[in-house]
Amino acid sequence: MKDVKAHAGFPIKPVYGPEDLAGVDAERDIGRPGEYPYTRGIHAHMYRERLWTMRQYVGFGTPKETNARFKYLMAHGQDALNVAFDLPTQLGLDSDDPRAEGEVGRVGMAIDTLADMEEAFAGIPLDRVSVSLTINGMAAPITAMYYAVAERQGAAADRVVTTPQNDMLKEFVARGTWIYPVDPSLRLVADLIEFSAKHYPRSNPVSVCGYHIREAGCTTAQEMAYGLAIAAAYVELMLGRGMQVDEFAPRISFNFTAWGKIFEEVAKFRAGRRLYARMMRERFGAKNPKSWMFRSLIGGGGSAFVMQEPENNIVRGAYIALAAALSGAQTIALPTYDEAYTIPSAKAQLIALRTMQICAEESGAADTVDPLAGSYYVEALTGEMERAIGDELARVERMGGIVEAIKSGAIQAEVARQAYLFEQKLVSGEVAKVAANCHVGDTPAEADREVALYAFDPATLAAQVARLGKIRRERDNAAVARALARLSDTARGHDNLMVPILEAVKAYATIGEINRTMKDVFGEHKEPAGF
């Protein structure tokens, strides 16, 4: 008989039965949906009352082009936005910076000043649409721009629902849009959380991401363990500032992936919700049930997709959507079938949205809460995952805690090691990818030259740079200088940086100017050596 292992490493038995549930206390460990410890989900009736939010990750070219794509998806039933920024924006470089060559508007939209943000959200009412901002190192200035646009639209602060990703710790492990060293990066994370908790009570000022660490190669159990450890680090950071846990914890959200083995993914989320609830209540003393809830965006992972016969990725996406729905996601976002080639075409985006809608409306996956509960297999697997996640959390503690383990590069090295092991499993066929490493035809499929791809428009750079030049000429440059001086002073002290950053963005200071001002004070992160 074939040996089968979970991505977390433990063996999967061919049959599960009642004997596998010995030691599971249904009341204590599983409970009811919408009740502590939320193993079965954070809402009592889940999708019967409210379907998951469908939030495709979108952004490219100029703010104007992105605005048009937002409206296209909203016209087809997408109910919330998830904004992609280009790399210069994510790293605090203006579009005319020489280091931005070839990157302006490439993997997301280019934002240089508040004027760009105004154009990106023109005609989109920010008191009615919820918007995720995939921004980390530059989360403070970009979110400040978002708040400024909302204010100018006349949106009441308590109606603004935005989720800046603002998870810097994972950027040092995966994704890599770090700028400043770890400590000042954490200060910015905390400043945005604190400012938002006080002034924008419905914003979700941090989205803790296991997703990118998994995409970088870690296991399912590590994805959840590292995410929980990072969340705990942010909670400790805010407690250290004198905030009460219930003042900010209800707005913490999570971003995880669900590609892979469907039942293992479901078990990962059921175990993760249970562990998070217990951590928040028992370790941090949270009293508000909302502080115990693991609210999650569950997405795909481009790493699950392959280049060979790319249309097969549509099928893989459907299984990811099913896994996310069975896992009790609050929001779902799917990768698109063309991701192994380039950033998504409009057609590929629409297919991803339609995939989620078919899952929601046709498959029956949304008919009842946590439909896999009580399965011998899924309940046993949930327990196994909880133990595996616990083991990984203990390993993080032995490395000196998550912040130290990231500073030293120990986590990064472990993730790379796992990525290499995974690649070896792809080579050996232990992990199967149809048409890539198994059921490959006589002539192995090469890249499909017929796939209709998004074509990057080389005119983007000129348009964006011209616009930036115009803003620099027309703004009140004395006001910009004053705001940047105040930002510099604040960076040297301890007050909340969001206040001078808001002043600077409203004066149309550029993202590059704001970044440079802080970098002069904070310095730059130096990556731990090695691989």
Partner 1 sequence: MKILIAKPGLDGHDRGAKVVALALRDAGVEVVYSGLKRTPEEIVQDAIQEDVDVVGLSILSGAHVPLARRVIDGLRAAGAGDIKVVVGGIVPPRDIAELKKLGVAEVFPMGTPLPRIVAAFTKEAGET
Return the residue of 350, 426, 431, 521 that touches partner 1, per CB under 8 A.
426
306: contact with partner 1 by CB under 8 A? yes
Range in contact with partner 1 (rule: CB under 8 A) among 200-208, 236-244, 350-358, 421-429 = 421-429
Query: One symbol per residue from 261 to 300: x for binding partner 1 (CB under 8 A), - otherwise; what is it?
Result: ----------------------------------------
- The residue among 13, 20, 91 whose CA lies nearest residue 380 is 20
102: contact with partner 1 by CB under 8 A: yes
CA angle 403, 172, 211 (to 5 degrees): 100
| Separation between Cα atoms, residue 102 and residue 416, nearest integer Å | 28
Q: Does 424 sit near partner 1 (CB under 8 A)?
A: yes
d(CA 189, CA 186): 5
216 contributes a contact to partner 1 by CB under 8 A: yes
Owner of token pair 């910076």: 97
Q: Which stretch binds partner 1 (CB under 8 A): 64-72, 83-91, 273-281, 287-295?
A: 83-91
**Cis before residue 205, ω within 30 degrees of 0?**
no
8 A C-beta contact, residue 264 and residue 223: no
Closest CA to 359 of 393, 321, 404, 323: 321
Q: Based on CB atoms, which residue is closest to partner 1, 447 or 466?
A: 447
Is residue 235 a contact residue for partner 1 (CB under 8 A)? Answer: no
Candidate list 2, 398, 439, 449; residue touching partner 1; CB under 8 A: 449
466-498 per-residue burial string, b: 16 or more CB within 10 A, e: under 16: ebbeebbeebeeeebeebbebbeebbeeeebbb
Nearest to 129 by CA among 57, 181, 78: 78
DSSP structure string for 283-294: IT---SHHHH--
Q: Is 448 in the site for partner 1 (CB under 8 A)?
A: yes
In contact, 315 and 38? CB cutoff 8 Å: no
Q: Applying CB under 8 A, which of residues 54, 93, 111, 266 lies at the interface with partner 1?
A: 93
Query: Based on CB atoms, which residue is closest to partner 1, 34 or 176?
Result: 176
Q: Does 72 bind partner 1 (CB under 8 A)?
A: no
Strand partners, 337: none
**Residue 386: CB minimum distance to partner 1, A:** 27
**324, exposed or middle or buried, with CB in 10 Å at 0-12, 13-18, 19+?**
buried
Instruction: Report, in Å, the least distance between residue 321 CB and partner 1.
Output: 22
Q: How far is 26 from 86, CA to CA, in rounded Å?
A: 47
Among 29, 191, 194, 215, binds partner 1 (CB under 8 A): 215
Q: Is 7 in the site for partner 1 (CB under 8 A)?
A: no
Binding letters toward partner 1, positions 142-181, x by CB under 8 A: -----------------------------x--xxxxx---
Q: Is 307 in the site for partner 1 (CB under 8 A)?
A: yes
**Binding flag, residue 101, partner 1 (CB under 8 A):** yes
Should residue 342 be labelled a site residue for partner 1 when binding is judged by CB under 8 A?
Answer: yes
Identity of the residue, 455 or 478, whose beta carbon is nearer to partner 1 in the bound complex:
455
> Residue count at the site for partner 1 (CB under 8 A)?
49
Does 456 help bind partner 1 (rule: CB under 8 A)? yes
Nearest distance from C-beta of residue 437 to partner 1, angstroms = 8
d(CA 352, CA 347): 9
**Residue 37 vs 217, nearer CB to partner 1:** 217
| CB 422 to partner 1: min, Å | 8
Say how many Å lie between the first and final Cα of the chain, rounded.
Answer: 37
x-marked contacts with partner 1 along 401-420 as a string, rule CB under 8 A: ---------------xx-xx
Does residue 436 interact with partner 1 by CB under 8 A? yes
**What span, in angstroms and rounded, lies between the C-alpha atoms of 219 and 50?**
31
What is the C-alpha to C-alpha distance for residues 22 and 143, in angstroms, rounded to an integer?
A: 49
Burial class of residue 361 in the structure, from the number of CB atoms within 10 Å of its CB (0-12 exposed, 13-18 middle, 19+ buried): exposed
Q: Is 219 in the site for partner 1 (CB under 8 A)?
A: no
Please tell me whether residue 343 binds partner 1 under the rule CB under 8 A. yes
Contacts with 264 (C-beta within 8 Å, 6 or more apart), sequence order: 6, 7, 8, 220, 381, 385
Lookup: tokens for 259: 């590609």
Interface residue with partner 1, options 222, 303, 313, 345 (CB under 8 A): 303
* Shortest distance (Å) from residue 303 CB to partner 1: 8
Interface residues with partner 1 (CB under 8 A) are 87-88, 90-91, 93, 99-103, 106-107, 171, 174-178, 215-217, 303, 306-308, 339-343, 416-417, 419-420, 423-424, 426-427, 436-437, 447-449, 453, 456, 527, 529-531
